[in-house]
Structure 1
Amino acid sequence: MIVITIDQRKSRSRPDYVDPLVHQLNHSWEMLRAFERTAGDELQGVMSDGEAAVRLAMDVVATGLWSIGIGVGSVVHPLPQQTRAGQGPAFEAARDAVERAKSSPGWIAVSGVTGEAERIQAELQLAAELVRRRTRPATEAGMLIDAGLTQKEAAARLGVSQQAVSARLNAALWSPTANVIRHAGLALAEVSAHFDVMEP
């Protein structure tokens, strides 16, 4: 099981963005237990799909507003309907991860009972740093490519040359970053699959 805890950065000097993010994530991703505010400027949700969890985390990373902790492990069964009432090692790992994320590269951390969590964390921290440093033009070009357009089609949509699109993608290391994210997601899914629910 995968528990994601997200904490707003610099919340004392910024508006409260928790409720809008809760709404956005719950309507954009398939959740095992929906994201909800757990305390103050923090939200938490439960997922079973490792690849989706990683993609969600990278979308949140890109905003530059949040610290993200991913916990992987068992949970106590039956899983309560309210995320904040959940118990088990995955929830404990997510708490540890989000605290470490506040001072970690890319503002993301992964915790679990296996050494594999450390490797996944290293991959996601590297990817997160690259995602956070992308320029808006590079992001616009990359999103069109990810949507299935060719570079020529993306260039026409953006009103620039194909060479400009290629340069933006290369400068952002778009393809290598996507590969790191994909493999980290596959690894997280594999690790999560080894954990069952726990009896209370």
Structure 2
Amino acid sequence: MFVITADQHDSRASADLVPAALDVIVRYGGSALPLPPERTAGDEVQALVATADAALDIILALTRTHRWSVGLGAGTVDDPLPNDVRAGRGSAFIHARDAVDRAKKAATRVAVSADDAEDAEALLRLLIELRDRRTDEGWEVYELLAGGITQRAAAEQIGISESAVSRRVAAASIRVEEAARPALARVLARLGEP
């Protein structure tokens, strides 16, 4: 099982982003959320996530904004589950607290904590660093392709040539990310196994 704990950057000097973050978690977590995500303290949110794929999707969505430090803890969760995530117990929760504390000091704003989590954390940080280099034009193409359309349809929608879309795809490392995400999800899934 996975626990995500995320802490908003500079929350005293900026708007409260917790409601938007909770919406993001619900959108990307879907049925993999055994309990609703919650605000745990002031500018912090926490979510219990059953699958590595959903945890990865949530982490990538939150870190994309550059407004959250995100810790992922993997491990056990005590049964039965409580009524709310704030009352959860188990090693995944302890690891998530450690991870978010370390994420606050990381350039990529993310950390992973579990037994033998070093490889997963290194790969996750590498993917986020790749995404952090993506331009607005790269994100525009990424969003269109993620929505399921072809590069040809993306070119028509943006109003550029197919070759220009191909150049954006290459510059944004979109195909590299597409290949890396399933592999990273498999590495994370091994951390979450009992």
Partner of 1:181: 181
Distance 1:150 1:138 in 2: 15
Task: Show structure 2 runs of 5+ residues with no match.
Answer: none
Matched residue SS, 1:93: helix
Compute the displacement of 1:178 (Å): 2.6
> How far apart are the structure 2 equivalents of 1:178 and 1:92?
31
TM-score by length of 2: 0.94
Residue 71 of structure 2 is aligned to residue 96 of structure 1: no
State the Cα deviation string for residues 80-124 of structure 1 (Å, max 9, x = none). 0210100111000000000101111311110002x1x11111111
TM-score (norm 1): 0.91
What is the letter of the counterpart of residue 47 of structure 2?
G
Q: Does residue 69 of the first structure (1) align with residue 71 of the second (2)?
A: yes
Partner of residue 172, structure 2: 172
CA distance in 2, matches of 1:17, 1:159: 34
CA RMSD across the alignment:
1.3
Once the two structures are superposed, what CA deviation does each residue of 1:142-199 show, in whole Å capped at 9, x if it has no partner?
1222233221111001111111111111111111123222211122123312x1xxxx
Aligned in 2, Cα 1:54/1:28: closer, same or farther, shift over 3 Å?
closer
Indicate the residue corresponding to 2:29 in structure 1: 29
* Structure 1 segments (4+ residues) deviating >3 Å: none
Alignment counterpart, residue 107 of structure 2, candidates 105, 108, 118: 105
2:100 is paired with a residue whose SS is helix
**In structure 2, what residue type is equivalent to 1:38?**
T
Q: Which amino acid aligns with 1:167?
A: R
How far apart are the structure 2 equivalents of 1:129 and 1:47? 23
2:5 corresponds to 1:2 = no
How far did residue 10 of structure 1 move?
1.4
> Which blocks of at least 5 consecutive residues in structure 1 are unaligned?
196-200
- Structure 1 segment 35-184 matched on structure 2, within 5 A: 35-113=37-115, 115=116, 117-184=117-184
SS at match of 2:79: coil
1:28 CA displacement? 4.2
Q: Partners of 1:118 and 1:147 in 2: how far apart?
A: 32
In 1, the alpha carbon distance for the partners of 2:140 and 2:106 equals 27
Aligned to 2:12, the other structure's residue is in SS state: helix
Residues in 1 aligned to 2:163 and 2:143: alpha-carbon distance in whole angstroms: 17
**Identity over aligned residues, as a percent?**
39
- Work out the CA distance in 2 between the residues paired with 1:144 and 1:167: 15
The range that moved more, 130-139 or 118-127, is 130-139
- Name the SS of the counterpart of 1:43 in structure 2: strand
SS in 1 for 2:83: coil
